[in-house]
A and B are shown apart, each in its own frame.
Chain A
Amino acid sequence: MKYESQKVARLYFIAALGLFVGQILFGLIMGLQYVVGDFLFPAIPFNVARMVHTNLLIVWLLFGFMGAAYFLIPEESETELWSPKLAIVLFWVFLVAGVLTILGYLLVPYARLAEMTGNDILPTMGREFLEQPLLTKIGIVIVALGFVFNVGMTVLRGRKTVISTILMIGLIGLAVMFLFSFYNPENLVRDKFYWWWVVHLWVEGVWELILGSLLAFVLIKVTGVDREVIEKWLYMIVAMALITGILGTGHHYFWIGAPEYWQWLGSVFSAMEPIPFFMMTLFAFNMVNKRRREHPNKAAILWAMGTGVMAFLGAGVWGFLHTLAPINYYTHGTQLTAAHGHMAFYGAYAMVVMCIISYAMPLMRGRIANSNKAQVAEMWGFWLMTVSMVFITLFLTAAGVVQVWLQRYTDTPMPFMLVQDKMAIFFWMREVAGVFFLGGLGVYLWSFFIGTDADAARDNAKVLAKVSTKVREESTQETARA
């Protein structure tokens, strides 16, 4: 870590991981409610648990992205952050607003919450993922603007790199696209039409820019590959992400009342959406293979490669499964969507945030990397969470196939709730995989508390010494040959 002000990222990362735990707990609650319908009723009804589960996901990822930007931007710009104080103030504003909103969901009936927070002045509530009360939405805009201003000023007064420029475009895009959450037309089709401008253009548009730039930053640091090479990859990935992703929005416009030509646009462009993710996988593996230094932080390298692979599988392959209009005719809104959503969010966004945390957190604690023991625990966390997520996805996919088969792709469709009963076995298995995921998260968090600074310093010195001996041996051999 080169600049003192990068340390504000630590607050953001800690909050992100705390909210991540909350998200998983509520995931387990609602996972159980799929099979034990009245579990925790009426204290936490299914719709509330679901709202908390998805909203916490978005909020913790936003904390993660902001933390990442506060860490990355000063280092790339080679200057201190414009105002660390503003970053800290905005952190508390965002955290308090976020926690109050979640408490509002849990303690007050949703309709009452809407009344209390001025939803009648400008109705914005009641839409999936954008359930936040008006006040929270305004708070999010203020925090986002303050944040973009703070990192923007830092970029403007320092060195401008491709990575920081692309990250800034992503972050500004994130703030701008959120504004569509304030536009809520009465017509349900038009409502959904613009709703996707937030949801889709976030996760399959501007967030991919953030993902690409964070990955590129970590890869430069841990592999020592030339910046020019990394930047070329980043340009190609970002170009492909935008070319396919923007018009790919069309794959949400099938069968909801939007004009038919969206079936063409959506199918063709989103069929290409796996390409940027595949390029990210190639990118991560290529750079690690071409590495010019042995960085002691092996865990961060594992996260970097892992996010490439899992993003490709979750977003790319599982997205492609049901993105073509004739297939989507049968699969629209089934458990296949849930399967895709779980692996894509984990693989692309949860993992890249944990990747940058894995790289940055030891540095902010004054170490190059954590001790061996801590890294081994972290890698256990990685594998437990990742493998559990693969199983969650597979079980949900199986549930989705059963659902399509019995309820959609048949001459004698069964009623919705009967089909849900037939899928119960897969929901149970998903819940078990979810418990393992929580275990993995526990191991991951525990890894932060293993090993002292002295252990870390000793282990890091060993890796670095081994490298320098190797380099010396190689150069002696070369001299001998000469």
Chain B
Amino acid sequence: MWIFIIAELSVFALLFLLFSYLRSSDSVTFLAGQQTLHPQAGLINTVALLTSSACVAQAVNAVRQNKSAAFGWLLLSIPVGCIYIVVKLWEYQQLVRQGFDLDTNHFYTGYFLLTGFHLLHVVLGIVILGFMSVRLWRGCYLPSQISGLESGACYWHMVDLVWVILFPLIYVIH
């Protein structure tokens, strides 16, 4: 799992570097592009992902201590995570309506590729959370037998870690 996470993070790291390099070579286009984004939506999404991640962490702790609250926490993380998907799709819709897409210029290529990949990771994460909830409901995770749950939780934390870097990089930094 750690090898997988390192591989994932390196892909994102390469994309971040590429994005930063292109911005330094064409800051005017990038600044203009940034102003068409919706930082409030980004902020909502940051809060949503961090909250969802916190729920998962609570769930893991609860399973470790054999508490029954675990299932509730894990289940709660799913709708909170879905907020992200809804908001992100709304943002895409706004941008596409204004006539921006993957091919408009380097800024939008970077924006759509980076956030698009991240969105796919969120969707996969939600599927994993759902799968783990079912397993938890069936009592497959015990305090001594928790590595599957921990791996899924690590993946979910990685997804919000990537967002925490992505958000300031694309939305905030001038």
Which residues from chain A sit less than 8 Å from chain B, CB to CB?
Answer: 236, 239-240, 243, 259-261, 264-265, 267-269, 271-272, 275
B14 within 8 A of A: yes
Q: C-beta contact mask, B1-25 vs A, less than 8 Å → 1, else 0?
A: 0011001001100110010000000
Q: A260-B109, A264-B110 are in contact. Are A236 and B102 (CB under 8 A)?
A: no
CA distance A259 to B106 in the complex (A): 12
Which residues from chain B sit less than 8 Å from chain A, CB to CB?
Answer: 3-4, 7, 10-11, 14-15, 18, 102-103, 109-110, 112-113
Contact A260 B103 (CB under 8 A): yes
Closest partner residue, chain A, to B114 (CB atom):
A264
Chain A residues, CB < 8 A from B102 = 259, 261
26 contacts between A and B (CB under 8 A): A236-B3, A239-B4, A240-B7, A243-B7, A259-B102, A259-B103, A260-B103, A260-B109, A261-B102, A261-B103, A261-B112, A261-B113, A264-B15, A264-B109, A264-B110, A264-B113, A265-B113, A267-B18, A268-B11, A268-B14, A268-B15, A268-B18, A271-B14, A272-B7, A272-B10, A275-B7
Contact B11 A261 (CB under 8 A): no
Q: A268-B14, A272-B7 are in contact. List 6 more A-B contacts (CB 8 A).
A: A260-B109, A261-B103, A264-B18, A264-B109, A272-B14, A275-B7
Chain B residues, CB < 8 A from A259 = 102-103
CA distance A54 to B72 in the complex (A): 60
Chain B residues, CB < 8 A from A260 = 103, 109
Q: From residue A191, how far is it (CB to closest CB) to chain B in Å?
A: 21
CA distance A267 to B113 in the complex (A): 13
Chain A residues, CB < 8 A from B7 = 240, 243, 272, 275
Closest partner residue, chain A, to B4 (CB atom):
A239
Most buried by B among A239, A243, A268: A268
Q: From residue B87, how far is it (CB to closest CB) to chain A in Å?
A: 23
CA distance A261 to B103 in the complex (A): 7
Chain A residues, CB < 8 A from B10 = 272
CA distance A268 to B110 in the complex (A): 12
Chain B residues, CB < 8 A from A264 = 15, 18, 109-110, 113
Chain A residues, CB < 8 A from B11 = 268-269, 272
Chain B residues, CB < 8 A from A275 = 7
CA distance A268 to B4 in the complex (A): 16
Closest partner residue, chain B, to A261 (CB atom):
B109
Chain A residues, CB < 8 A from B14 = 268, 271-272
CA distance A98 to B133 in the complex (A): 54
Q: From residue B27, how far is it (CB to closest CB) to chain A in Å?
A: 19
Q: From residue B111, how far is it (CB to closest CB) to chain A in Å?
A: 11
CA distance A75 to B3 in the complex (A): 32
Closest partner residue, chain A, to B22 (CB atom):
A264
CA distance A268 to B109 in the complex (A): 14
Q: From residue A151, how far is it (CB to closest CB) to chain B in Å?
A: 30
List of 6 A-B pairs having minimum Cβ-Cβ separation, nearest first: A261-B109, A268-B14, A261-B102, A259-B103, A268-B15, A264-B113
Closest partner residue, chain B, to A263 (CB atom):
B109
Q: From residue A438, how far is it (CB to closest CB) to chain B in Å?
A: 40
Q: From residue B154, how far is it (CB to closest CB) to chain A in Å?
A: 16
CA distance A267 to B110 in the complex (A): 13
CA distance A264 to B102 in the complex (A): 11
Closest partner residue, chain B, to A243 (CB atom):
B7
Q: From residue A257, how far is it (CB to closest CB) to chain B in Å?
A: 13
CA distance A240 to B6 in the complex (A): 11
Chain A residues, CB < 8 A from B113 = 261, 264-265
Closest partner residue, chain B, to A239 (CB atom):
B4
Chain A residues, CB < 8 A from B103 = 259-261
Q: From residue A282, how far is it (CB to closest CB) to chain B in Å?
A: 11
Closest partner residue, chain A, to B113 (CB atom):
A264
Q: From residue B166, how far is it (CB to closest CB) to chain A in Å?
A: 15
CA distance A272 to B103 in the complex (A): 24
Chain A residues, CB < 8 A from B18 = 264, 267-268
CA distance A271 to B12 in the complex (A): 12
Q: From residue A86, how far is it (CB to closest CB) to chain B in Å?
A: 40
Q: From residue B109, how far is it (CB to closest CB) to chain A in Å?
A: 5
CA distance A236 to B110 in the complex (A): 28
CA distance A268 to B7 in the complex (A): 12
Q: From residue B75, how far is it (CB to closest CB) to chain A in Å?
A: 28
CA distance A240 to B15 in the complex (A): 18
CA distance A186 to B18 in the complex (A): 34
Most buried by A among B7, B15, B18: B7
CA distance A261 to B111 in the complex (A): 11
Chain A residues, CB < 8 A from B4 = 236, 239
Chain A residues, CB < 8 A from B15 = 264, 268
Chain B residues, CB < 8 A from A243 = 7
CA distance A267 to B18 in the complex (A): 10
CA distance A269 to B12 in the complex (A): 10
CA distance A267 to B19 in the complex (A): 13
Q: From residue B63, how far is it (CB to closest CB) to chain A in Å?
A: 25
CA distance A259 to B14 in the complex (A): 20
Q: From residue A172, how far is it (CB to closest CB) to chain B in Å?
A: 24
Q: From residue A130, how far is it (CB to closest CB) to chain B in Å?
A: 29
Closest partner residue, chain A, to B105 (CB atom):
A260
Closest partner residue, chain B, to A275 (CB atom):
B7
Q: From residue A65, how far is it (CB to closest CB) to chain B in Å?
A: 27
Closest partner residue, chain A, to B13 (CB atom):
A268
Q: From residue A71, how far is it (CB to closest CB) to chain B in Å?
A: 31
CA distance A239 to B14 in the complex (A): 19
CA distance A271 to B18 in the complex (A): 13
CA distance A267 to B3 in the complex (A): 21
Closest partner residue, chain B, to A236 (CB atom):
B3
Closest partner residue, chain B, to A276 (CB atom):
B7
CA distance A409 to B18 in the complex (A): 23
Q: From residue A250, how far is it (CB to closest CB) to chain B in Å?
A: 11
CA distance A442 to B18 in the complex (A): 49
